[in-house]
Amino acid sequence: ALAAFKLAPALAAGCTVVLKASPETALDSVVFAEAAQDAGLPAGVLNVVPGGAEAGAHLVSHPGVDKVSFTGSTQTGRVIAEVCGRLLRPVTLELGGKSAAIILDDADLDSTIAGLTSVSFINNGQTCFLGSRILAPRSRYGDVVDALAGLADGLTVGDPLDPATDIGPVVSARQRERVLGYI
């Protein structure tokens, strides 16, 4: 879970954490918290609060919150930054990334394209820090497009619980429409 990247340092520093995940991934948060407790994390150290924007707004402005860390849309991040700024509350924002893979003239395309599988398609390409674009010299355009088409053609689409599946469903109908809009 992406949350682990933010939770681990806070927990290692001895902080108590409140995790309010996206409503679209709420069950992941509960399972993660249960696993942490099963691994020995004391009850009450990692607290999961389900809910949407209203719950998030309450947590961001709550006087008992010492720091806010948010991963999500730029629009929501601006609102959170404004609230935290007024409260002089530390905030870390990871917003709407557009990570690029850069392919140089002399790059070995076979190894480069193979590496793009893990940096572009993990979690069905729905992770904010994944590669979402490729920058390559015009002289390599055709080769890069052909190699990427071959990579995509070789991915198995199917049931996410099947170990043979490379790409499963997107998280919601809204995300599906967003992806279709890119095409």
Could you give the residue numbers annotated as active site? 94, 128
Q: Nearest to residue 22, comparing CAs of 59, 62, 49?
A: 49
Element (H, E) at 101: strand 99-102
Locate tokens 């601006």: which residue?
Answer: 78
In sequence order, the β-bridge partners of residue 94 are 71
Structure tokens at 110: 């076979």
Cβ neighbour number for residue 129 with a 10 Å cutoff: 13
Q: Which amino acid is at 74?
A: T
